[in-house]
Amino acid sequence: TSVCGLAPLNTRAVGVQDAPAGAWPWQVTVQTTSLFGGHFCGGTLINKDWVLSASRCFRFYTASDIIVYLGRRNQQESDPNEVSRGVSQIIIHPDFNSATSENDIALLRLSSSVNFTDYIKPVCLAAENSTFYNGTDSWVTGWILIEELGKIM
């Protein structure tokens, strides 16, 4: 799709720091609706209907246990740019090995399609047989807990 990989609001944050709203529009938070709900895994929007994530995250959950938030900037509060979707299907790689983490990949089918905005866009996936040479710039995104002055931020 012609909108994949476009992050018009990205200021290219580097290191462990808060990213501005819309900086990584394909990053999603996968949360459980259970009693102890909340963020338990990240994911990447790959098109209007599917999220790519890790198989290890879904060993103890069914699709009905999960809600995906797209366009969210932090985990402490809701965001005016976010939308949520349920999950209608979880596909875990058939050769996933939890002991070795081999094939640790899963697909989540969203319960309904999302509309793309400046805050919600899919990532571009590499073409088959792509080569990434040493020194190729790459980005890793997600959520972490930062302890500052004894307080979890």
pLDDT digits (tens, 9 = 90+) for 96-131: 999 999 999 999 999 999 999 999 999 988 888 888
pLDDT at 152 over 50: no
Diameter over CA atoms, the chain: 47
Q: How many CA atoms lie within 13 A of 86 on its CB side?
A: 8
CATH class of 27-124: mainly beta
Position 147 scores a pLDDT of 55
Distance separating alpha carbons of residues 109 and 68, to the nearest angstrom: 10
Position 153 scores a pLDDT of 35
The domain segmentation of the chain, as residue ranges, is: 27-124
**Which residues, 6 or more positions from 151, have their beta carbon under 8 angstroms from its beta carbon?**
none
pLDDT, mean over the chain: 84
Measured at the alpha carbon of residue 148, what is the angle toward residues 144 and 153, in degrees to the nearest 5? 45
When pLDDT is averaged across residues 6-12 and rounded to a whole number, the result is 62
Distance separating alpha carbons of residues 54 and 106, to the nearest angstrom: 5
pLDDT at 142 over 90: no
What's the burial of 24, exposed, middle or buried (CB within 10 Å: 0-12/13-18/19+)? buried
pLDDT at 149 over 50: no
The structure's pTM equals 0.84
pLDDT digits (tens, 9 = 90+) for 47-78: 999 999 999 999 889 999 999 999 988 787 77
